[in-house]
Structure 1
């Protein structure tokens, strides 16, 4: 089996020594090439080339951003590099194995992999030995794929705040996210002027939404070891799930967060809109809104079309 290990050298929770251990372990099972990312977007090119060279397996060592780039490289390895073209079946693409190396690692943990990379790598090696593989669905936002979540509005604005803090040298911690949430909640325009509507083919338009969370699986994210589950029924095996807040008021927003953190999450309320297992919908905003995919801030958008892509990718877990 031919494989490539795509390493983000800036990954939060691994060291050079740890990478060497992982490389030796993988080479005991596969014919391995190692590639290091040098800039944002580089993993897309590395994965795309791996698919074109008929590599059997792409392993990532990094966070959710690295995984997202690799997935987009694999899914757009056709001649035009376009997600809108006919996609090959999952069996014709390299499989993916995600070794957690970032600060949160939602995708890997949602697949059932341990939080720490040595234990996760051991589980992946076992799966390779016994041929354990799973085929999952993905989300598509316009022409970019995502694995576990997307957002338009407040959650994306919070991610933007956290990314700016990290660029200033801050460490990504739950307390940093909490402070960013409070700051955005207090000053964000989305609280005062809900400006997003959700349109579905053949359905009534839902308007005046303040922020929208989209999930391709559950949980949405983690706070340490605690799952955050706005849409607990979301699944890699189904369509996309949506939770939207009509107003960002302190009581209703606090209640939604508390419900999402509970052991039996089921967020409900007059200010909450929840939709399950959607194949297609579009978000349209009167003013540009912050936009994120898989925890990466991607700027502001007025309109995003979301599509569920079933049985899109094979993963080793």
Structure 2
């Protein structure tokens, strides 16, 4: 753990149109920090204006130097902030997240104390990230995930949830409908063998989607590795049983790796911490652990 940190600036990034309490929580955090901090950084509330705007705001904030960049959001909003900080090239920017989303998997599994208290104490620690590269050479696209990268059921369900309405019952109906019509996806491994999966999740934390326990608790988000959670193609009732097991007692110990590589066969969506993107057909996909790449508080 690094020594206690103070900051020249604190940027609080939030979505003013959030269906949750992000605007209120952001304002409360601003007021708490103004009261708790023994020094006087510039504390700024920065509402986003469009999708992807948090990436830009975080990148600009981190480039100012000695900055704390806070995301008041769920996992998807925090993903944008993390990617903005990583794009900045700053070596001294620190991130934090205040849970204001639906699942809040990252905050729930890595948080150690109330965020205002953690910022006041300034006890910075470092966590791994997942680095995903789509393609090769000059055209390659790189992004980071703080918690997980999912292929198959994970992004497909996320896409349909985004199209539908919010609310627990409506979300459940959407998931059931998506599951009923879902088809497996195919990848080509580095040895040339083709494999079909219902789901492939590369995870830096042991839990996702509020209820699912992917791996044992000792798997730590700063060990330089991530877990590979595979659902090979199987009958839908078997997939359902496996999902219920994940939601009840967990899936148990999963294999850990520092990199995972394959080639897409057809265009396929993938999900980074709640943010959905797409990989083209016949494209190399490389996921690597980025050891202790992110400085955090909280």
TM range (shorter): 0.7 to 0.9
Q: Tell me the residue number matched to 1:13.
A: 20
- Displacement of 1:18 after TM fit? 4.3
Measure, in 2, the Cα distance between the counterparts of 1:104 and 1:43.
19
Q: Which runs of 5+ in 1 are unaligned?
A: 79-87, 114-119, 268-273
Total equivalences in the alignment: 275
Q: Tell me the residue number matched to 2:247.
A: 261
Q: Which runs of 5+ in 2 are unaligned?
A: 1-6, 134-141
Q: Tell me the residue number matched to 1:249.
A: 235
Q: Tell me the residue number matched to 2:179.
A: 185
CA contact (8 A) 1:158 1:177 kept: no
Cα-Cα RMSD: 2.3
Cα deviations across residues 183-212 of structure 1 (Å, max 9, x unaligned)? 22222232xxx512444xxx8967232321
CA contact (8 A) 1:196 1:285 kept: yes
CA contact (8 A) 2:161 2:175 kept: no
CA contact (8 A) 2:12 2:26 kept: no
- Displacement of 1:242 after TM fit? 1.2
1:74 aligns with 2:74: no
CA contact (8 A) 2:186 2:194 kept: no
Q: 2:197 aligns with which of 200, 209, 218?
A: 209
Measure, in 2, the Cα distance between the counterparts of 1:102 and 1:109.
11
1:291 aligns with 2:291: no
| Partner SS state of residue 189, structure 1 | coil
- Displacement of 1:215 after TM fit? 0.7
CA contact (8 A) 1:154 1:290 kept: no
1:63 aligns with 2:47: no
- TM-score normalised by L of structure 2: 0.83
Cα deviations across residues 25-78 of structure 1 (Å, max 9, x unaligned)? 122225212211111111111111112110421111122121111100111113
1:237 aligns with 2:222: yes
Residues 131, 19 of structure 1: alpha-carbon distance in 2 compared, 3 angstrom cutoff: closer
- Displacement of 1:277 after TM fit? 2.3
Residues 312, 77 of structure 1: alpha-carbon distance in 2 compared, 3 angstrom cutoff: same
- Displacement of 1:253 after TM fit? 0.8
| Partner SS state of residue 195, structure 1 | strand
- TM-score normalised by L of structure 1: 0.79
Q: Which moved more, 1:231-240 or 1:53-62?
A: 231-240
Q: Tell me the residue number matched to 2:124.
A: 133
| Partner SS state of residue 76, structure 1 | helix
